[in-house]
């Protein structure tokens, strides 16, 4: 009987590993209750092409973080300035409920060690979550910053040597990206390093210094559907999610 139980346990472990290796990982994509449907659709498509299933998570549509294999923290409204030590100005559109939801989500991802990709606002809130600060308006902080707002790849960014991001972006030293933001990282949060800068020195990407997958990009790779290197961000996130799930099920 003992031998039979041993074989049964081994078979069950093999079955769990087989399921984990073949089922599409579940990736949560955070967003706002007001708008953002196009970003959600593009992220969902990018993740599906990368081999994952996506679920949209908003303050009004919560989802148990414990069931997720990875998270994409999406773009959207400004982050409440009081979260990084500044005052709220009347002209700024903020979403405090989303801020709180995403900070809780990042608490959970850090505790569980699951992969995270931050996009635009998502990159910024990763930095805030790690104790960093933001430039509330890049045009005030960088007087020579070109006023560029487009979904097309019109901005050139330099990817830092030895960064994980450069490896994921096909080893490119520079790449062309879109630009839809007016805020950026100021003081880096704990455990983060700069992974990309633009021509005037604005931080365009950050990444974690630890072993897990924690990357934030200031641009929107979900809109760069024809750029295989940009889509590799999603493929790499999904691969990391599968790896984590296999490690847990082993």
Segment 41-98, tens digit of pLDDT: 999 999 999 999 999 999 999 999 999 999 999 999 999 999 999 877 756 788 999 9
Query: Is 61 part of any domain?
Result: yes
Selected residue with higher pLDDT from 2 and 130: 130
Which of 197, 186, 189, 250 is closest to 214 using CA atoms? 189
Query: Is 13 part of any domain?
Result: no
Instruction: CATH number of the domain at 100, please.
Output: 3.40.50.880
Identify the DSSP state of 45. H
Selected residue with higher pLDDT from 25 and 87: 25
Query: What was the pLDDT predicted at 90?
Result: 59
How far apart, in whole angstroms, are the C-alpha atoms of residue 212 and residue 108?
Answer: 14
Comparing 12-16, 18-22, 116-120, which segment has the lowest mean pLDDT? 12-16
Residue 112: domain span: 24-249
Q: By CB neighbour count within 10 A (0-12 exposed, 13-18 middle, 19+ buried), where does 209 fall?
A: exposed
Could you tell me if 169 and 161 are in contact, meaning their C-beta atoms sit under 8 angstroms apart?
Answer: no
Query: Is 11 part of any domain?
Result: no
- How confident is the model over 173-200, as pLDDT tens digits? 999 999 998 899 999 999 999 999 999 9
Query: Is 12 part of any domain?
Result: no
Gap between the terminal Cα atoms of the chain: 24
Could you tell me if 160 and 206 are in contact, meaning their C-beta atoms sit under 8 angstroms apart?
Answer: no
Indicate which residue of 80, 102, 222, 244 is catalytic.
222
Q: Residue 42 catalytic? A: no
| Total of domains in the chain | 1
Q: Residue 220 catalytic? A: yes
Indicate which residue of 120, 175, 181, 244 is catalytic.
120
Query: Is 137 part of any domain?
Result: yes
How far apart, in whole angstroms, are the C-alpha atoms of residue 56 and residue 44?
Answer: 8
Query: Is 2 part of any domain?
Result: no
Query: What was the pLDDT predicted at 181?
Result: 87
Indicate which residue of 129, 135, 181, 220 is catalytic.
220
Q: Residue 140 catalytic? A: no
pLDDT above 90 for 156: yes
Query: Is 222 part of any domain?
Result: yes
Query: Is 17 part of any domain?
Result: no
How far apart, in whole angstroms, are the C-alpha atoms of residue 40 and residue 46?
Answer: 10
């Amino acid at each position: 009987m003992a031998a039979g139980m041993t074989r049964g346990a081994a078979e069950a472990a093999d079955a769990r590993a087989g399921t984990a290796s073949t089922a599409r990982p579940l990736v949560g994509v955070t967003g706002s209750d007001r708008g953002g449907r196009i970003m959600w659709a593009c992220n969902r498509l990018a993740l599906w092409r990368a081999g994952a299933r996506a679920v949209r998570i908003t303050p009004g549509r919560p989802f148990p973080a414990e069931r997720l294999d990875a998270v994409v923290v999406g773009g959207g409204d400004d982050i409440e300035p009081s979260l990084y030590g500044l005052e709220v100005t009347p002209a700024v559109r903020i979403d405090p409920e989303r801020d709180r939801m995403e900070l809780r989500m990042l608490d959970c991802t850090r505790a569980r060690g699951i992969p995270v990709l931050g996009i635009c606002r998502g990159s910024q809130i990763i930095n805030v979550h790690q104790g960093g600060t933001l430039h509330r308006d890049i045009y005030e902080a960088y007087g020579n910053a070109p006023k560029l707002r487009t979904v097309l790849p019109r901005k050139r960014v330099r990817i830092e040597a030895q960064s994980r991001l450069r490896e994921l972006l096909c080893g490119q030293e520079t790449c062309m990206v879109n630009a839809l933001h007016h805020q950026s990282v100021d003081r880096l949060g704990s455990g983060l390093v700069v992974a990309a800068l633009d021509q005037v020195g604005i931080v365009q990407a950050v990444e974690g210094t630890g072993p897990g997958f924690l990357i934030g990009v200031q641009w929107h790779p979900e809109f760069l559907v024809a750029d295989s290197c940009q889509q590799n961000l999603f493929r790499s996130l999904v691969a990391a999610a599968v790896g984590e799930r296999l490690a847990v099920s082993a």
